[in-house]
Amino acid sequence: MTTAVESELRRQELARFLRSRRERITPEQVGLPILGRRRTPGLRREEVAQLAGVGVTWYTWLEQGRDINASEQVLQAIARTLRLDPHEHTHLFRLAGAPEPEGEKDCQVITPAMELMLRKLEPYPVAVRNARCDLLAYNRGYTWLMGDVDAIPFADRNTLVQCLLNPEWRARMLDWETNIPRVIASFRAAMADHVAEPAWKQLVKRLKAESPLFAELWPHHDVNSEPIRTKRYQHPDVGLLRFNFTYLHYGRRSEITVSTYTPADEETAAKLPLVF
C-alpha cells in the first residue's frame, strides 16, 4: 500500500521529470515562433499545455507536484508533446500512478532474441506491430524501405497514422489508394475487442480530426480481416519494389504480429542492399 509520504515523493519526482523534459524541447522543434527574449530554456508551461490540449493551470499544478489525477489520454498527449522515448514514456506513467499503457506492455515482448531474429532477416524488411497498428520493433531493412523511422516520435510510430498522415510514406506506397480502405477496415475489425479502451478511442479521434479520408471512410463501418499479401513500393533510390508478406503471430492468442517482406521477383531481390 502506498503511503502519503511515498505519494508526495512520487509527485515531486514527476514534477522534476516534466520540467527537465520540457526544458530540452525548443520552440523550433514543435513549430512555434520565437517571440521576444525567453528567460528559461526550452518550452514554456503554457506552450506545453497548448500543444497537448490541456489547461494551463492543470499542467502547472502537475509540474508543481499537486495531488491531481491524470487520465491516460492526457498523459499520452503530454508524452507526445515532450517527445518522450519508450523508456521515458513508461516512466511518466509510473510516476503519475497510471496503469501502464497497452502499447508499453506490448513493447516488453520485444526480447533480445526477437531483436536478433529481426537483424538476421536483413536485408528483408521486418516489422512487429500490435492490433492497434503501433510499430513495436523493426529492422534496418524496414527503415531502408520506409525512411528514417527512428526520427518519428515514439507516440507517432503507428503504421495507420503514418500511412494516412505522412506524405513520404504515401509516396512510397504505390497502391496506397487501393489498399488504405482495406487497412482501415481491418483496423475497425480489430477494434471490436477494444471498443472501450481509451488508447483506441483516442487514435480514432485523432485520425478523424487529421485525415479527411479516414473521417470519410470510418462511418461506413466496413470490416475486413483478410491481410494484404503483396504490396508495391517506390523507393527513392532504386525505384519499383514488389514484396510478398508473411504474417507470424507472436503467440497463439497474441495480437502481436511479425510481418516479413520477401521479394516477389528477382528484380526486387537484386535491388535490396547487401550491407547497411
Q: What is the pLDDT at residue 97?
A: 83
pLDDT tier at 267 (50, 70, 90 boundaries)? very high
3-class DSSP assignment, residue 95 = helix
What residue ranges define each of the domains in the chain, with the CATH number in brackets?
A: 1-96 (1.10.260.40), 112-271 (3.30.450.180)
Closest listed residue to residue 174, CA positions, set 90, 216, 233? 233
Per the prediction, the chain carries an average pLDDT of 87
Residue 195 confidence (pLDDT): 83
What's the whole-model pTM score? Answer: 0.67
Instruction: Tell me the average pLDDT across 239-252.
Output: 87
Of 55 and 70, more confident? 55
Q: pLDDT at residue 218 above 80?
A: yes
- Per DSSP (E only), the strands in 82-150 are 126-129, 135-138
Comparing C-alpha atoms, which of 161, 120, 155 is closest to residue 141? 120
Neighbouring residues of 260: CB distance < 8 A, sequence distance ≥ 6: 121, 124, 125, 126, 245, 246, 248
